Structure formats: structure tokens, C-alpha cells
Amino acid sequence: MSAELVEKVFNQVLPVDKYIQDLRTGLDSLGLVQLVQELPAVIHLFTPQQSNPLTVKMLTHLLNPQFSAEGSNRRQRENSTYKLFIKYMREAASGRRGAVNLGSILRFATGTEEEPALGFALQPSIQFMESANFLPTANTCINRMNLSLPDESNPLPLQEELFNLFDLAFCNTFFGLE
């Protein structure tokens, strides 16, 4: 809601139009008007966010990688893939990946381009998987992105080729790649 509409709905002193009174009545039936009166700090949940732009650091904290045990061969492969993914995120953040930005990556993994005001109910994560190709996949229902691991028969592609696959995945606005 706009800041003006929020003020009209929650300020009971102002005279309001019928549609605002109806909105106030509906919110009051849910207990939200009383909640805002008792805890005025929650009113920011109803106003447009002037959020800080997403940074690489914020995104790496949001997308929690699920690594194998330290010292294992699989962990070494996970580290090499993850390092390239971090490098890709830095390029996206600086605008060197065309239409892809950090919000595109978060949207791919979670379905939203920004962190919700109250955080995610399910912590977003990165899982590493064996796959014949290196196109990332995601399951937005559980906020998980899958990155493919190299192996002896399927080595990591050259950096630019891998980054082009990342671009393809993160530029798409439809879901169901998995």
C-alpha cells in the first residue's frame, strides 16, 4: 500500500471514504488495526520498502551452500564449482552479465528478487548434484538451487561457457527447469 493509504487506513482520526472504511473494517476483523495501534513499529510491513540493493555478500549469506565433509574429494569439486559461482555473482553485480543481476539469481532460487521483510520461512540453499550438463536448476517451493559438479568424465566447462549457461538459467522468468 502507498504511505498515504496506510496513513488513512490506520489513523482512526482522519475522515475517510467508504472504500477505506471497508478496508479498515477488513483489516480490523483480522486484528491488524489493533496490532498496529499497540505496536506501531509493525506499520512498516504495510508500506512500500525502500530496501537496500542486494549485494554479493547479502546473497552469499542468503544462499547457504550445502557442502560435503571437509577434506573429501566431493568437497573439492564443490569448492571449485562454488568459487566460479561466486565469481559469476560478482560479474552479475557489476553489470557485466547483461540482463542478469543479483535479484535474478535470487528469483531463480526462491521466486522473489528480494528478501521478505520477515525473512524466508525456508532458508534458501545451494545443493551440489551430479549432472550431465551444467545448467543450474531450482526448486522454488523449497528455496533451493542446484549446481552441477564436475567429474572425470564431465569436467567443468571453460569459465565463459559456464557463465553463459548461468545467464541462460537466471534470465528466464519461467519456472520448471527441474
**What percent of the chain is modeled with pLDDT above 70?**
93
Mean pLDDT along residues 79-106: 96
Q: What is the pLDDT of residues 106-118, one digit of tens each?
A: 999 999 998 887 7
Q: Is the pLDDT of residue 178 over 60?
A: no
pLDDT band at 177; cut points 50, 70, 90: very low
Per-residue cell: 171? 534470465
Higher pLDDT, residue 166 or 53 = 166
Q: Is 135 in contact with 165 (CB distance < 8 Å)?
A: yes
pLDDT digits (tens, 9 = 90+) for 19-76: 888 888 898 899 888 888 888 878 877 776 655 689 999 999 999 999 999 999 999 9
> Bigger pLDDT: 173 or 148?
148
What is the set of domains in the chain, with CATH numbers? Answer: 3-46 (no CATH), 56-171 (3.30.2410.10)
Inter-residue contact 167 to 138 (CB < 8 Å):
no
Rounded to the nearest integer, the mean pLDDT of the chain is 89
DSSP string of 107-127? HHHHS-SS--TT--SS--EEE
Beta carbons of 146 and 138 less than 8 angstroms apart: yes
Neighbours of 60 (CB within 10 A): 15
Lowest mean pLDDT among 36-45, 122-131, 148-157: 36-45
Residue 63 CA to residue 68 CA, distance in Å, equals 16
pLDDT of residue 48: 62
Alpha-carbon span 30 to 114, nearest angstrom: 26
Judge whether 141 counts as a catalytic residue. yes
Of 1, 5, 129, 141, the active-site residue reads 141
Arithmetic mean of pLDDT, 139-153: 94
Residues 125, 65: contact at Cβ < 8 Å?
yes
Query: What average pLDDT score do residues 148-171 get?
Result: 95
